[in-house]
Amino acid sequence: MGSAREEVVIRAEGLGKRYQIGRSTAAYGTLRDTIADLAAAPIRALGRLRKARASSRQPRTIWALNDINLEVCQGEVLGVIGRNGAGKTTLLKILSRITEPSAGRVELRGRVGSLLEVGTGFHPELTGRENILLNGAILGMRRSEILRKFDEIVSFAEIGQFLDTPVKRYSSGMYVRLAFAVAAHLEPEILLIDEVLAVGDLAFQRRCLGKVGEAARGGRTVLFVSHNMAAVENLCTRCVLINGGQIVCDGSPTEVISAYVRSQEQQLKTGIDETARRSGSGRLVFTSFGVETIQGTAVPLVRSGEDVVLVFGYRKNGSAKVNNVDLGIAFYTEHGHPLTVLCSSYTGKTYSVDSTTGEFRCVIENLPLAAGRYVVGGRLLIGTEEADWPTDGVGLLEVERGDFFGTGHSGFDGHAPLLLDGHFLDLP
Amino acid sequence: MTGPKDLDQFVNDRKMVARPATVIVVEPQRGLMKIGFEEIFDFRELLFFLVWRDIKVRYKQTIIGVSWAILQPLLTMVVFTAVFGRLADLQGSGVPYAVFSLAGILPWTFFAQGFGQSSNSLVGSSHLITKVYFPRILIPTAAVLAGLVDLTISFLVLVGILAIFNIQLTLNALWLPVILVFIFVTTLAAGTWLSALNVRYRDVRYIVPFVVQIGMFVSPVIYSAQAMTAKLEAVGIPGWVYGLNPMVGVIESFRWTVLGAGEFPGSLVAVGGVVSLLGFFLGLVYFRQMERSFADVV
C-alpha cells in the first residue's frame, strides 16, 4: 500500500448474487439427492420441520451477496473473512467469472487466476507429470510457463520418483502436495484464493503461505479467503469482513479480525436464554456454551481433527453443595438429527459442585466432525434427578474442514457428518 | 534466499505486471451475447490439454488398448456384411458391401461417440465448472476432437480393407479434409446443444443413446442414400428432404471421397451443410447464453 500511483485493479460496484432456493434441485433426481432425501425422511416426520418444508416448495430467492462495493489496488493482499455462508466464496466465484452476478458489475485489470480448490481437474488415471501439465493449463498457465516451472513444481511437491505413477496410486498427502505445488506456482496478476490452505500438513501449509507472500511482493494483487486468522494477519495488507452477503468492516487486518472475533464471541458466549424451553428441576442450570482451544483461547469455530474444549457455564440455585453431577453432551446435525451422546459418567467422571457459578470443561481430542454446523445439546443430572435439559440445545458448534486424518485429506465431502479414523491392514 | 534467480524472477514479475493490462468486465448479461471467438482462441492451449487428457485416458487400464479402435469398426463391418450383405438393393454403387458399410460405419461411429461423449461432458466436468473459469465450450469441443484419434486409426483400417479389395483411392480423396470439417461441425453442433441442455435437464442422458441407436437406421450406414431418396421420390417427396438429417450428407460424401464411386451427392450435402452450420451457430449462441449459469445449476 501507500505507493504514489495506486492503480485500482479490482473494482466492484453494487455487486449482488441471487440464488433460488427450494424446488430447484428436485427437477433432476440424482442418486445422491435420492439418498439424502431418504436419510432426511425420518426427520421430516418430526412435525417441526414440516412447516419449513412446506414453505420451501415455492421457489424462494436469497441474496447470497448484496450490494458489495469494493476497490482493490495493485499489490494489495486483501483478506476476506466471515463465517460460513456469509458469501465469501460467492464473491470469489463472481470475481473469477465462474458464476455471473445478478446485479452490479466488476472490472478486473489483468489476468485472473483463481484457486478455489487444490487439484482442480486432476485426473486419477494420469501420472503426476501429466497432471502437472493438465492442472497448470486448467488453472490458466501457458504451456511454456508450466514447462519453465516444471522442475520447480516437482521439487516443491517432493514427489520425486513417483512422477510417472498415476496419481490414483498416490497417498493422499502426496496428492495434496502435488496439487498445491502446481497451484503455488500460478502467477497471474490477480490471484483469488479460497480456503484451500486448510488441508495439508503444517510445514507444507507454511511453504504455501510463503509462496503467496512472495506473489504479493512481486506486485501481484491477492484476494485471500481464510479462516486462518494468523495467516490473514501475517499476509494481508488489508482485510474485509463479510456478513450476510455484505461488507460490514473494512480496514487493517488486526482491526477487522478483532471485530470479527468479538462478534463471534458475542454470538457464542451469550449462551442460553433463561427463557429457553427446558425441562428439569433447575437446581443446576446451563448458562452459556463456548468453545476454546486447548490453550484456553475462546474461538468462534473449530476444525475437524483439532483438540477442542467445550465450555459449559452453569449456575447453581440453592446454597447446598451438590454431588454426583453427571454432565451429558449430545451432538446433533443442524437439522436436529442426533449424532452421538457423551456423558461424563460414561468416562467414570462425576462432579461435586460447590460454587454458585462456574464452567464445566470437556476436552475432545481429534474432533471427529466433518465441516458443518452442529447443535450441541447438554443435560445435567444430579444422581438420577434431571436438573436441566434445554430442549433446543445449549449452543452451536461451527466446524471447518481440517486435518482429522493427519494426512491432509479433509475426508468425505458430503452429507456424512461423522469422521472415523481406521487403521487399514496390509494384505496378507 | 535472494539469489540471482530470485532477482531474475522479480524483474520478470515486474515486466509481467507492467504489461498493458486487459480489462475484464463481469456483469449480468443482457440480450444475445456474442459468441466470443477471440476468447476461445485465447484458451486454445487449454483445449489442447483437454483433448490430450481425453485421448490419454481413453484406453487406460484396458488390455488391448487402442486396438479397440481397430476392432470395433472391423467387427461391425463383418456383422453388417453377414446380415445385410445379400440384400442387393441396399446399395447401388457396385463396390463390395463390406467396403461400402465400413465407409458408413466410420463417420457414423465418430458422430455417435463424439455426440455421446460431448453431451455428457459438461455434467461430467462439474468439478471444473464450479471451480475455475474458462470458456465452457472447450469441454464439449474437446470431447469431439478426441474422437479424431479413433477416426484416424479406423481410417487406416479402411485403407487396408480397400487395398484388400483392390480399390484405389481416387482424386476424390483430396476432399477428405473438407468432409472432415463437415463431420466435425455436425457432431459438435449436436454436442453443443445437448451438453448445454443436459446441465439443466438430465433427460438428455436418456435421449442421447436413443438418438444414436435410431439415428443409425435413419442415416445411410447400412444402406445407400439413393435407396432412401428413391423411395421418398416414389411417394412424391423430393429426395433432398432426406438430407435434412445432416449425417446423410456427411456419410454419403465421405463414401464418395474414399470409394470414388458414383456422383457427388450435391443436394444432400448442400441441405445437410446448411442444417449443420445453422445448428452449429445457433447452438453456440445458445451455449454461450446458458454457460453463465452452468456453475449454479450443474
Contact status, residue A373 vs residue A347, Cβ threshold 8 Å: no
A346-389: per-residue pLDDT in tens?
Answer: 999 999 999 988 999 999 999 999 888 888 999 999 988 999 98
Cα–Cα dist A26/A33, whole Å: 8
Please indicate if any CB of chain A lies within 8 Å of the CB of B16.
Answer: yes
Contact status, residue A368 vs residue A418, Cβ threshold 8 Å: yes
Alpha-carbon distance values, B255 to A339, B76, B81, B104, B174 (Å): 66, 17, 16, 7, 13
**With 0-12 CB in 10 A as exposed, 13-18 as middle and 19+ as buried, what is B145?**
buried
Per CB-CB distance under 8 Å, the chain B contacts of A108 are 23-26
Cα–Cα dist A131/A120, whole Å: 10
Nearest CA to B145 out of B211, B191, B199 is that of B191
At B261 the pLDDT is 76
* Number of residues that this document lists for chain B: 298
At B179 the pLDDT is 94
Per CB-CB distance under 8 Å, the chain B contacts of A138 are 46, 49, 128, 132, 134
Please indicate if any CB of chain A lies within 8 Å of the CB of B22.
Answer: yes
Cell numbers of A200, please?
495439508
Cα–Cα dist A280/A382, whole Å: 10
Question: Residue A157 belongs to what H/E stretch?
Answer: helix A143-157
Cα–Cα dist A355/A346, whole Å: 24
Cα–Cα dist B57/B65, whole Å: 10
3-class SS of residue A224: strand
The type of residue at A178 is L
| Measured CA angle at A236 (ends A234, A237), to 5 deg | 115
Please indicate if any CB of chain B lies within 8 Å of the CB of A84.
Answer: no
State which residues of chain B have pLDDT below 70. 1-21, 29-34, 88-93
Which long-range contacts does B151-156 make (Cβ < 8 Å, 24+ apart)?
A: B151/B106, B151/B109, B151/B110, B153/B66, B153/B69, B153/B70, B154/B69, B154/B70, B154/B72, B154/B73, B154/B106, B154/B109, B155/B106
Nearest CA to B141 out of B193, B177, B212, B191 is that of B191
Contact status, residue A238 vs residue A78, Cβ threshold 8 Å: yes
Contact status, residue A205 vs residue A226, Cβ threshold 8 Å: no
Sheet hosting strand A8-21, strand order edge to edge: A60-73, A8-21, A103-109, B23-26
The type of residue at A263 is S
Please indicate if any CB of chain A lies within 8 Å of the CB of B2.
Answer: no
Please indicate if any CB of chain A lies within 8 Å of the CB of B263.
Answer: no
At B186 the pLDDT is 96
**Which of A117-131, A138-152, A193-207, A391-405 is the least confident region?**
A193-207
- pLDDT surpassing 70 at residue A188: yes
**With 0-12 CB in 10 A as exposed, 13-18 as middle and 19+ as buried, what is B86?**
exposed
At A201 the pLDDT is 61
Cα–Cα dist B272/B107, whole Å: 14
At A208 the pLDDT is 73
**Torsion on CA atoms B36, B41, B44, B46, rounded to nearest 10:** -30
Please indicate if any CB of chain A lies within 8 Å of the CB of B46.
Answer: yes
Cα–Cα dist B93/A329, whole Å: 84
Please indicate if any CB of chain A lies within 8 Å of the CB of B201.
Answer: yes
Sign of CA dihedral B246, B249, B252, B256: negative
At B32 the pLDDT is 60
At B16 the pLDDT is 42
Strand partners, B198: none
- pLDDT surpassing 50 at residue A2: no
Cα–Cα dist B236/B216, whole Å: 24
Per CB-CB distance under 8 Å, the chain B contacts of A103 are 28
At B31 the pLDDT is 59
At A50 the pLDDT is 47
Strands A395-400 and A60-73: unpaired
Please indicate if any CB of chain A lies within 8 Å of the CB of B28.
Answer: yes
State the complex-level ipTM. Answer: 0.78
At B66 the pLDDT is 81
**Which of A44-53, A224-233, B45-54, B210-219 is the least confident region?**
A44-53
Task: Give the side-chain half-sphere CA count within 13 A for B176.
Answer: 14
Q: A140 and B129 in contact by Cβ < 8 A?
A: no
Task: Give the side-chain half-sphere CA count within 13 A for A416.
Answer: 10
Cα–Cα dist A152/B95, whole Å: 59
Q: How many CB pairs under 8 A join A and B?
A: 127
CA-only gyration radius of chain B, Å:
23
Alpha-carbon distance values, A53 to A335, A396, B131, B296 (Å): 12, 22, 30, 22
Return the residue of A nearest to B8 by Cα: A218
Q: A95 and B10 in contact by Cβ < 8 A?
A: no
- pLDDT surpassing 90 at residue A182: no
Return the residue of A nearest to B129 by Cα: A98
How far does the CA of residue B46 sit from the closest CA of chain A (Å)? 5
Q: What is the DSSP-derived secondary structure letter of residue A116? A: S
Cα–Cα dist B282/B157, whole Å: 35
Please indicate if any CB of chain A lies within 8 Å of the CB of B205.
Answer: no
Mutate to test the interface with B, among A97, A192, A194 (most CBs of B within 10 A): A97
Per CB-CB distance under 8 Å, the chain A contacts of B295 are 93, 98-99
pLDDT classification of A40: cutoffs 50, 70, 90:
low
At A44 the pLDDT is 53
At A302 the pLDDT is 86
Q: A218 and B57 in contact by Cβ < 8 A?
A: no
This prediction has a pTM of 0.70
Nearest CA to B188 out of B217, B147, B243 is that of B147
Cα–Cα dist B264/B178, whole Å: 14
Cα–Cα dist A158/A134, whole Å: 19
Question: Residue A93 belongs to what H/E stretch?
Answer: helix A88-95
Sign of CA dihedral A177, A179, A180, A184: positive
**φ and ψ at A343, to 5 degrees?**
-110, 145
At B252 the pLDDT is 93
Task: Write down the H helix ranges in chain B.
Answer: 4-18, 37-42, 44-58, 67-84, 97-124, 126-129, 138-164, 176-200, 204-218, 225-234, 246-259, 266-297
> How high is the mean pLDDT of chain A?
81
Cα–Cα dist B58/B42, whole Å: 26
A91-141: per-residue pLDDT in tens?
Answer: 999 998 898 899 999 999 888 888 887 778 888 889 999 999 999 998 888
Cα–Cα dist A14/B28, whole Å: 12
Please indicate if any CB of chain A lies within 8 Å of the CB of B26.
Answer: yes
**Which of A6-20, A84-98, A268-282, A330-344 is the least confident region?**
A268-282
Q: A100 and B26 in contact by Cβ < 8 A?
A: yes
Q: What is the DSSP-derived secondary structure letter of residue A127? A: B
Contact status, residue A205 vs residue A59, Cβ threshold 8 Å: no
- pLDDT surpassing 50 at residue A49: no
Q: What percent of chain A has pLDDT over 90?
A: 27
Cα–Cα dist B92/B86, whole Å: 12
The type of residue at B130 is T
3-class SS of residue B70: helix
Give the count of beta carbons closer than 10 Å to the beta carbon of residue A423: 4
Please indicate if any CB of chain B lies within 8 Å of the CB of A129.
Answer: no
